[in-house]
Amino acid sequence: MAALLTGAVALTLCMFPGPKDPAARRAEQLLSEIRPPGKLDDFLAWLGLVRRRPHTTSFMGDYAESPEIVKNLARLGPPAIPVLTRALTDDDEDDRVRMHTASALGEMGPQAAEATPSLIQALKQHNEMVAKWAALALGKIGPGAKDAVPALIDAMKGGDWDMRCCAAEALGQIGPGAKAAVPALEEALKDEHARFYAAEALAKLGLPDKALPVLIALLEHESPSFRKAAAKTLGEIGPPAKAAVPALREALKDKTHYVRKAAAAALKKIQAAPATRKAKR
């Protein structure tokens, strides 16, 4: 009965997502009073988000279907965090379930800050995919995940190239609370795989001068996605990135249209801001 009530309450939350809706407020209260089942796949089955297959308790469908599942999980919001964190740290839980659990917590953003300790624990575990999704989730939580900085630094130093990228990106999203990571990020600028994410993180930490040489060099990267990302990040830096103007002008001739578009937008942000401030005086 408790399980059915839990599912009904959570579905009520999905039907009335507005925080001021009386039904949603009452549903949150009830959900907080009910002890959710220990297994996330059981919980999701009760919600109707997952359908059991014969002889398995895994998520329905292929990996490509997971975004919709994650979206529904994240939509439950803070009342679902206790059951999600239990599933994330349960060694007996299926790794794929734990991976999607970390993703769901990340989709909640800053409101999932209370899950930071569980995500740190997942970051330190041996399953690389779970650890990577935990790192991405910590980044999406942002400044509220600052306690994860030491673990993310360790992950950036000791993980594979994908883990290093995820950890560096997360450190940048955490912001000023990640200042302790600056030496590790500077070292990561030498890493051909993680250097963009390290440069982006340093820029977000208020150290654009350390990021500029790498970002300018990446405007000539063989991958158009990296060229676009470098241009976009230079634009986000704004006027302090004026040293990148010649390279960005050259990028206006790039053979890929979205790189040209990103370069034009970056030039506008870098060059227009001082004139705008002058006009206001």
CATH number of the domain bearing residue 214: 1.25.10.10
For 232, the 3-state DSSP assignment is helix
Judge residue 32's burial from the number of C-beta atoms within 10 Å of its C-beta, 0-12 exposed, 13-18 middle, 19 or more buried.
Answer: exposed
Q: How far apart (Å, rounded) are the C-alpha atoms in residues 19 and 15? A: 12
**Is 266 within the bounds of a domain?**
yes
Determine the distance from the C-alpha atom of residue 143 to the mean position of all C-alpha atoms in its chain, rounded to a whole number: 12
**Is 190 within the bounds of a domain?**
no
**Is 93 within the bounds of a domain?**
no
Structure tokens that stand for 203 in this block:
């820029």
- Per-residue pLDDT at 131: 92
Judge residue 49's burial from the number of C-beta atoms within 10 Å of its C-beta, 0-12 exposed, 13-18 middle, 19 or more buried.
Answer: buried
**Is 268 within the bounds of a domain?**
yes
Judge residue 248's burial from the number of C-beta atoms within 10 Å of its C-beta, 0-12 exposed, 13-18 middle, 19 or more buried.
Answer: buried
Structural domain of 261? 209-273
Residue matched to tokens 């439950």: 76
Q: How far apart (Å, rounded) are the C-alpha atoms in residues 254 and 269? A: 19
pTM of the full predicted structure?
0.74
Structure tokens that stand for 152 in this block:
């993310």
| Residues 251, 252, 258: CA angle, nearest 5 degrees | 90
Check: CB of residue 107 under 8 Å from CB of residue 70: yes
Q: How far apart (Å, rounded) are the C-alpha atoms in residues 214 and 157? A: 19
Classify residue 56 by its DSSP letter. Answer: -
Nearest to 38 by CA among 77, 10, 6: 6
**Is 216 within the bounds of a domain?**
yes
Render each residue's pLDDT in the chain as its tens digit; 281 residues.
344 444 544 544 454 444 445 545 555 554 554 444 444 545 555 444 443 433 333 332 343 345 566 667 777 788 888 888 888 888 777 788 888 889 999 999 999 999 999 999 999 887 888 999 999 999 999 999 999 999 999 998 887 889 999 999 999 999 999 999 999 999 999 999 999 999 999 999 999 999 999 999 999 999 999 999 999 999 999 999 999 999 999 999 999 999 999 999 999 999 974 544 444 44
Determine the distance from the C-alpha atom of residue 119 to the mean position of all C-alpha atoms in its chain, rounded to a whole number: 12
What is the tally of structural domains in the chain? 1
Judge residue 242's burial from the number of C-beta atoms within 10 Å of its C-beta, 0-12 exposed, 13-18 middle, 19 or more buried.
Answer: middle
Amino acid type, 159: G
| Residues 252, 256, 258: CA angle, nearest 5 degrees | 80
**Is 225 within the bounds of a domain?**
yes
**Is 235 within the bounds of a domain?**
yes
Nearest to 131 by CA among 111, 110, 156: 156
